[in-house]
Structure 1
Amino acid sequence: MRISSNMHEKMLVFKFVMVIVLVVSPTAYGAGNFNAEFEPTFGGQRVRVSGPGGQTLALSLDKGSGSGFRSKKDYMFGRVDMQLKLVGGNSAGTVTTLYLSSDQSTGRHDEIDFEFLGNVSGQPYTIHTNVFSQGEGNREQQFHLWFDPTINFHTYSIVWNPRLIMFLVDETPLRVFRNYEDRGIMFFPKNQRQKIYASLWNADDWATQGGLVKTDWSKAPFTAYYRNFNIDTSINGKWKSHDLNAYTRMRLRWVQKNYMIYNYCTDWKRFSQTFPPECKHGGV
């Protein structure tokens, strides 16, 4: 059958759109059982698991308390994916989190942070990322999002291997933090096993516009939802060699050009004497 040039163009456009949809759609995972893999850390009945197989978990915050949960196991490297739907409406003062952490009681813990800072209605959430090694942090980068994270679930991922830490949203990288120990920079979490944590809590002393906007408790309870987690620590997992390719490098540049709102490696006021050593390698 002969295809007209007009039809051929439409087919090419259709194929292009399909490729884009496949690339940027949220990662799809089978629903895991929160009761089997996680346990509450605080908040009592404010931690609610629902669904036929414990597939969805809701955290709530009211004036009495926030809430949280953590994995029953701890891990040394791997990839964690979790779908979240953040607190809707006026979420100012609230912080929703997804992070990895070793035992904090030692005072020299490692940590890899996703923190979602709420805002007044109509204003964007801020994604706050940070990395700790041996109790030292101060490696913050912050971003806004190109969508409203309160309407639908989106997949937030942390890849952690001996060479890098990558923060992703729906497979788009926000940030890559690399291990530069081969260049004499000894700042990278690689010696302590970490659990997966999540929480919803009040931080209106700093979370929204530097603490200028306080939590409106008349809107409580505030609720955030988690579902479809995936934890990959398999021996042959792709996380072991995960890195940027040409496409994801382009997406990373796009995010950092258009949506990054804070980078510790350009904060001259804060680091007036000297920047952290990895900043001379791009601060990622």
Structure 2
Amino acid sequence: MTYSSRMFPENILASLFVAGFVTVLLSVADARPATFLQDFRTTWSDSHIKQLDGGKGIQLLLDQNSGCGFASKSKYLFGRVSMKIKLIPGDSAGTVTAFYMNSDTDQVRDELDFEFLGNRTGQPYSVQTNVYAHGKGDREQRVNLWFDPAADFHTYSILWNHHHVVFSVDEVPIRVYKNNEAKGVPFPKFQPMGIFSTLWEADDWATRGGLEKIDWSKAPFYAYYKDFDIEGCPKPGPSGCESNPKNLWEGSGYQQLDAMASRRYRWVRMNHMVYDYCTDKQRYPVTPPECMDGI
């Protein structure tokens, strides 16, 4: 597959530039050093995680011996987290690179997932998102990325507030999970979540449902991370932080998608979505109630 900016509408590209510029301006006031060891710790296979550029970036490695993973030192209740990631180039079939939030509470866990599913050379990379609330998951959606995510770094972010959860790629929303508690749909709002990332082998399901197996002759596989950004209410932390309406992520501009963000979101769903649990009648003969709410 050939990736090109022509795959993305020119007016959206222009808007992305403006949005990115505004984001930079807004972030200056809250700027703080963002090195790996300030906010994160290794959780799995320290020998497979290497710090780069004085700890401002890291390299994750997967080989036949092990994958690896890391997690935030704190948990957060609501906020916005983002990382820039450069995924495994070439033949990455059977690999999964994940960036997610998790309450780490077993049967009643809350979890917000980005899972980047490796591919055979020349095929588009898919990103799978999932939402667990009060222990209930199985809400997978998959999108084929419209660019080569292994050629350069791209920003992946999760916005989590009282109104919705928004998964974004380079400020383009690719998934919105609204707070539909009024319809009896669980929404994650009670349990703080940590921030995690892992790189591992999952060739029993990751690429074409497990048809494409990992080619260990291409190992080791590398993924790169930098520009870690966490804005949220740490737990334990200041009392009442999570209910403060003045928090940036609770502001009016974050309570719903604006007109431009809605157009980007529809563009992604119409042109790049390849699986949506909402339309899978074999799994869900009765459409889940949250799926009937639209954008």
TM-score by length of structure 1 reads: 0.88
Structure 1 residues 16 and 269: CA distance shift in structure 2, 3 A: closer
1:77 is paired with a residue of what secondary structure?
strand
**Does 2:48 align with 1:46?**
yes
> 1-side partners of 2:73 and 2:155: how far apart?
21
Partner of 1:247: 260
Structure 1 residues 16 and 141: CA distance shift in structure 2, 3 A: closer
Structure 1 residues 88 and 224: CA distance shift in structure 2, 3 A: same
> 2-side partners of 1:66 and 1:261: how far apart?
27
Query: Is the contact between residue 185 and residue 278 of structure 1 (CA under 8 Å) also seen in structure 2?
Result: no
- Structure 1 residues 107-116 or 24-33, which shifts more? 24-33
Partner of 2:68: 67
Query: Is the contact between residue 126 and residue 143 of structure 2 (CA under 8 Å) also seen in structure 1?
Result: yes
Structure 2: which amino acid aligns with 1:275? T
Partner of 1:261: 274
> 1-side partners of 2:262 and 2:146: how far apart?
17
Query: Is the contact between residue 25 and residue 170 of structure 1 (CA under 8 Å) also seen in structure 2?
Result: no
Partner of 1:11: none
**Any gaps of 5 or more consecutive residues in structure 1?**
1-14
Partner of 1:218: 217
Partner of 1:155: 155
> 2-side partners of 1:87 and 1:16: how far apart?
27
**Any gaps of 5 or more consecutive residues in structure 2?**
1-10, 234-243
> 2-side partners of 1:170 and 1:21: how far apart?
10
1:44 CA drift (Å): 2.2
Q: How does 1:1-284 map to 2 (within 5 A)?
A: 21-23=17-19, 32-52=34-54, 54-104=55-105, 106-182=106-182, 184-233=183-232, 236-241=246-251, 242=254, 243-272=256-285, 274-282=286-294
How well do the aligned residues superpose, as a CA RMSD in angstroms? 2.1
> 1-side partners of 2:292 and 2:80: how far apart?
27
1:49 CA drift (Å): 1.3
Structure 2: which amino acid aligns with 1:263? D
1:21 CA drift (Å): 3.1
Structure 2: which amino acid aligns with 1:143? V
> 2-side partners of 1:26 and 1:224: how far apart?
28
Aligned pairs, number: 265
Q: Over residues 179-229 of structure 1, what are the superposed CA-to-partner deviations in whole Å (9 max), with x where a residue is unaligned?
A: 1112x3231111110000001000000000000010000111101011001
Structure 2: which amino acid aligns with 1:39? R
1:278 is paired with a residue of what secondary structure?
helix
TM-score by length of structure 2 reads: 0.85
Structure 1 residues 100 and 70: CA distance shift in structure 2, 3 A: same
Higher CA-based Rg: 1
1:22 CA drift (Å): 2.9
Query: Is the contact between residue 26 and residue 154 of structure 1 (CA under 8 Å) also seen in structure 2?
Result: no
Query: Is the contact between residue 12 and residue 264 of structure 2 (CA under 8 Å) also seen in structure 1?
Result: no
1:133 CA drift (Å): 0.9
> 1-side partners of 2:173 and 2:13: how far apart?
21
> 1-side partners of 2:157 and 2:13: how far apart?
24
Partner of 1:10: none
Partner of 1:9: none
1:275 CA drift (Å): 2.5
> 2-side partners of 1:93 and 1:117: how far apart?
7
Identical amino acids, percent of aligned pairs: 47
Q: Moved runs in structure 1, 4+ residues, more than 2 A? A: 15-31, 234-238
Structure 1 residues 137 and 116: CA distance shift in structure 2, 3 A: same
Structure 1 residues 16 and 190: CA distance shift in structure 2, 3 A: closer
